[in-house]
Amino acid sequence: MFKFKNVSLIFVLVLITLQFPALAQKAQSHQLLNDKLKKSSFKKLIKSAQKADVIFFGEMHDDPISHWLQLKLIKALDEKNNLILGLEMFERDNQSELDQYLNDEIDLATFEKEARLWNNYKTDYAPLINYAREKGINVVATNIPRRYASMVYKQGFGAIESLVAEEKAYIAPLPIEFDIDLPGYQKMLNMVEGHGGENFPKAQAIKDATMAHSISENIKEGKIFFHANGRYHSDHKEGIIWYLRKYRPDLKILTITTIMEGEVPEKGVADYIIMVDEDMIKTY
């Protein structure tokens, strides 16, 4: 009798699965594609990442899958204690506050007050910082202070030439080389349709150059530098990478980007593409 009940139960489950195939499907938060747009796996991504000198994780800032996979990848790469973390979300003049918090020299309330944190810090970046704090991972604030990027947006590169040496120390070495013909910057020009002219992509370029310079200054032999940034800063290996190759052409670089389901993935946009389910919630 006991066997009969089990067989009957199995039969019912198989019948339900055949009649309602949707019940047999697993809900997927994302798919992972390689540079040839073929399905890949997180295990393969880890294996590729372990061979890189620098990893650029291009995120959508409000996407929880990006942030979750960043943390998962950081944990996987940190097994050999060979990781440096860099974040677009922290500006270079806040490195001191960041170091003090990581070293338990200031508390969370002071850190939140003084470090000009992004509004989504608690949901999206605190897990990365908390893990780095727990494991003693060096974290680099790579971005230009926003006030200087704003000056470039309003007045062009000439606006920052007059800064004093102490202020210029937070920016990539001047003058900044700028190629307006790069597809990423051209796309930005088309987005603004004349508003701000070339100063809009120039403001992006000063960020890209500064983040690249920050990485080149802080990378160490035998360490993997993991950099989290908005995807437009590293897609097609332009942006930060274009500048980094000028500082350090010898580096092995791996790129990851994030797109939403429904957005057509492009070959060459990154070494790995995370395609997020269109129904995924946003963090803000």
How confident is the model over 168-178, as pLDDT tens digits?
999 999 999 99
The DSSP output letter for 233 is G
In 3D space, the residue among 123, 230, 235, 213 whose CA is nearest the CA of residue 169 turns out to be: 213
Residue with tokens 């088309």: 190
What pLDDT digit, counting tens, does each position of 51-106 carry? 999 999 999 999 999 999 999 999 999 987 799 999 999 999 999 999 999 999 99
Mean pLDDT across 206-226: 97
Confidence (pLDDT) at 21: 44
Average pLDDT over residues 258-272: 95
Given a cut of 50, whether residue 4 has pLDDT beyond it is no
pTM of the predicted structure, to 2 decimals: 0.89
At 3 the pLDDT is 46
pLDDT of residue 79: 81
Q: Which residue has the higher pLDDT, 23 or 71?
A: 71
Res. 166 pLDDT band, cuts 50 70 90: very high
Q: How confident is residue 254, by pLDDT bands cut at 50, 70 and 90?
A: very high
Instruction: Calculate the alpha carbon distances from 231 to 16, 61, 241, 256 in Å.
Output: 43, 9, 12, 8
Q: What is the mean pLDDT of residues 9-29?
A: 49
User: pLDDT band for position 20 (50/70/90)?
Assistant: very low
pLDDT at 25: 54
Angle at CA 205, nearest 5°, toward 204 and 206?
A: 95
User: Which of helix, strand or coil describes residue 118?
Assistant: coil
Average pLDDT of the chain to the nearest whole number: 91
CA dihedral (148, 206, 172, 61) positive or negative: positive
Point out the least confidently predicted range of 91-105, 138-152, 189-203, 256-270: 189-203
Give the pLDDT of residue 232. Answer: 96
In 3D, which of 102, 85, 193, 189 has the Cα closest to residue 142? 85
The one-character DSSP state at 122 is: I
Contact of 34 with 209, CB cutoff 8 Å: no
Report the 3 state secondary structure along 25-88: CCCCCEEEEECCCCECCHHHHHHHHCCCCEEEEEECCCCHHHHHHHHHHHHHHHHHCCEEEEEE
What is the band of 193 on the pLDDT scale with cuts at 50, 70, 90?
Answer: low
- pLDDT for 237 beyond 50: yes
Q: Looking at residues 218-241, what average pLDDT do you find?
A: 97
Who's near 194: CB < 8 A, 6+ residues apart?
none
Query: Where do the DSSP E strands lie in 80-150?
Result: 83-91, 138-143
The answer to whether residue 284 scores a pLDDT higher than 70 is yes
Tens of pLDDT, residue by residue over 267-279, are: 999 999 999 999 9
CATH architecture of 29-276: 3-Layer(aba) Sandwich (3.40)
